[in-house]
Amino acid sequence: MKAKKLLSLVLSTILLGSVLTGCGGASSESSSASSQANGTASADTAQKGVITVAASPTPHAQILEQAKPILAEQGWDLQITEFEDYVQPNLVVESGEFDANYVEHVPYLDSFNEEQGTHLVNVGGIHYEPFGIYPGTESDLAAISDGANIAVPNDTTNEARALLLLQDNGLITLKDGAGLTATVNDIAENPHNLNIQELEAAQVSRVKDEVAFVVLNGNYALEAGLSVAKDAVAYEKSDSEAAKTYVNVIVAKEGNEENEGIKALVDVLKSDDIVNYINDTFDGAVIPFTE
């Protein structure tokens, strides 16, 4: 997912012209009729207004759908529009057509602002999709054999996240400041003499039977039929550097951070109801961000 976002950033620079002339793709709009029907359940609440949000279909729009009835009780009419790309949602928030979007993580937002000169801000982190360490020929991280092979993705973001996860689990130590661009060249200590095998992200799960462990991002784990909750021997915790960095955030235009609707939206998305919904629904592939 993150790799796709980076790719779309690159593409967006190329396609900027066509995007600005308005050829973007809003795919489906949830009916406001149904949200009003929900609203009648608490008819005594005063109508406070409409919140329009541009969102990616999964899991973003799914999560928002759960927030809709809760917001309706508070008098807010949440209108969700799904977008398949990562450029339009930012442009429509910048132009004021939408109040907020829910599609991206902070590094993407920052570079988008820089590249496109937009004024968009992060108003709250909602969820992240964790990397996990999955068993291959071995299953006990604590008893990992010396010189074991571990397969990791080889592209910038994914390799760094994989190495950080290995570091968080005490398998290796990275050099200071290696952080989110770390590569195998940044490994400072490797007490188990692990052989970190860098592969194309889609290939990692395919060598599962040949290496001790594989480190996978959420969507590739799902495609390989692996569940974070059931199969991973370790995954990114909510307080990890990766989770803090790659958390998917609600984005609004600068100056609107304190708007009541925006605050209500973020509050609801961080409420126990939604946290429980995410935990119950996504089997660990999507984790609520609770910082």
Q: Would you say 186 or 236 has its CB closer to another protein?
A: 186
Return the residue of 70, 148, 151, 164 that touches another protein, per CB under 8 A.
Answer: 151
- The CA angle 209-180-62, to the nearest 5 degrees, is 75
- Angle 202-204-205 (CA atoms, 0-180°, nearest 5)? 90
The single-letter code of the amino acid at 168 is: D
Position 186 contacts another protein (CB under 8 A): yes
Q: 3-class SS at 244?
A: helix
Asked if 40 is part of the footprint of another protein (rule: CB under 8 A), the reply reads no
Indicate which single residue of 38, 62, 190, 203 sits in contact with another protein (rule: CB under 8 A). 203
Binding residues with another protein: total (CB under 8 A) = 19
Helices (H) and strands (E) in the chain, counts: 12, 14
Asked whether position 185 contacts another protein by CB under 8 A, the answer is yes
Burial of 176 (0-12, 13-18, 19+ CB in 10 A): exposed
Question: According to the binding rule CB under 8 A, does residue 207 interact with another protein?
Answer: yes
Q: Residues 40, 261, 90, 218: is their CA dihedral positive or negative?
A: negative
Parallel, antiparallel, or unpaired: how do β-strands 49-55 and 100-105 relate? parallel
Place of tokens 């005594």: 44
| H or E element in which residue 112 lies | helix 106-116
Q: How far is the CB of 174 from another protein (least distance, A)?
A: 12
Q: For residue 198, state whether it binds another protein (rule: CB under 8 A).
A: yes
206 forms part of the interface with another protein (CB under 8 A): yes
String marking each residue 15-34 x if it binds another protein according to CB under 8 A: --------------------
Query: Contacting another protein (CB under 8 A), which of 66, 122, 169, 197?
Result: 197
Given 74, 122, 173, 183, the residue binding another protein (CB under 8 A) = 183
User: How far is the CA of 16 from the CAs of 54, 91, 96, 98, 158, in angstroms?
Assistant: 19, 11, 18, 19, 26
228 binds another protein (CB under 8 A): no
**For residues 116-145, which are near another protein according to CB under 8 A?**
none
Please report how close the Cβ of residue 167 comes to another protein at its closest, in angstroms. 16
**Pair 120, 90: CB distance under 8 Å:** yes
Per CB under 8 A, the list member of 97, 115, 210, 291 interacting with another protein is: 210
- What would the two tokens of residue 106 be? 């902070």
For the CB of residue 208, give the shortest distance to another protein in the complex, in Å: 10
Region of 37-45, 193-201, 234-242, 272-280 interacting with another protein (CB under 8 A): 193-201
Q: Does 156 bind another protein (CB under 8 A)?
A: yes
Helix (H, G, I), strand (E, B) or coil at 38: helix
Position 257 contacts another protein (CB under 8 A): no
The three-state secondary structure class of 110 is helix
Q: Confirm or reject binding of residue 62 to another protein (CB under 8 A).
A: no
CA–CA separation, 136 vs 7, rounded Å? 30
Residue 153 touches another protein, criterion: CB under 8 A: no
Which residues sit at the interface with another protein, rule CB under 8 A?
151, 154-156, 181, 183-187, 197-200, 203, 206-207, 210-211
